Amino acid sequence: MHRISVRRAVTATAVGLAASAALTACGPSDSSDSNSKGGSPSAAAPSSDSSSGSSTNPSSGSGSSSGNGSHASSTPSKMSTCRTANLRITAKNQGEAREGLGDILITFTNTGGNCRMDGFPGVDMKTNYGTQSVDRNKQEVGTPFTLKAGKRATANIAYPINNTGGSGVRGTALVVTPPNETHHVTVPVAVNLPVSDTDKGKLEVTPVFEER
């Protein structure tokens, strides 16, 4: 009976030691899991900081926007309109261009810096009977272009030729205002128009085109 009791005590001790060892073995594992779980939020914190840093990039974004602004400011501003003071304007009667119609060539030579031209010039014709307006040719469409320094642009005036045999109306000069300008110049020209309203027809000017 005593031996059985000792064996039971030894067995109980062994079982206790085994259980203790098992608990000890489990302890680090649990602690590791706990650190792993606790480490996950801790690892998330830098990520959150990084995200927060990214969201503070509006300040950096503002710099980027400012960069765009500086880029925009480096873009050339809209070119200014060609001014009358920087244009040498001449007119030449080129005679009959097609049956019954003559052609006057107006030339604009740029004596200043590069500038923009677009549209119709304003033109009046001085005659021995007074001043006559020149209408726009509505079938023509102008195209904006850059008139470079020293280069030329042109417009054409169609006029009815006097084939009546009479003295007609003598055109002596053109009053020309460049497109989108208010100042004009008067240039000499010599043409002969019919007197009669039915024969006179219309004086018409084209838009200004870049000389090729």
Mean pLDDT of 47-73: 36
Domain ranges of the chain: 2-74, 84-210
Name the residue among 205, 133, 126 with its Cα closest to residue 173: 126
> Quick check: 207 and 178 in contact, CB under 8 A?
no
pLDDT at position 63 over 70 = no
Query: What's the pLDDT tens digit per position in 28-37?
Result: 444 444 343 4
Mean pLDDT of 45-52: 38
Query: What's the pLDDT tens digit per position in 67-110?
Result: 333 333 333 347 899 999 999 999 999 999 888 899 999 999 99
- Look up the pTM and report it: 0.62
What pLDDT sits at residue 99? 83
> Average per-residue pLDDT in the chain?
73
Q: Which residue has the higher pLDDT, 135 or 68?
A: 135
Could you tell me how far CA 204 lies from the centroid of its own chain? 33
pLDDT at position 166 over 50 = yes
Q: Which two tokens stand for residue 83?
A: 């001014």
DSSP classification of residue 151: -
The answer for residues whose C-beta is within 8 angstroms of residue 67's C-beta and 6 or more apart is none
pLDDT at position 123 over 80 = yes
81 phi, psi to nearest 5 deg? -70, 145
Most confident of 3-7, 63-67, 146-150, 192-196: 146-150
When computed from its CA atoms, the radius of gyration of the chain, rounded to whole angstroms, is: 47
What pLDDT sits at residue 89? 98
CATH code for the structural domain at 84-210: 2.60.40.10
What pLDDT sits at residue 56? 33
What pLDDT sits at residue 197? 56
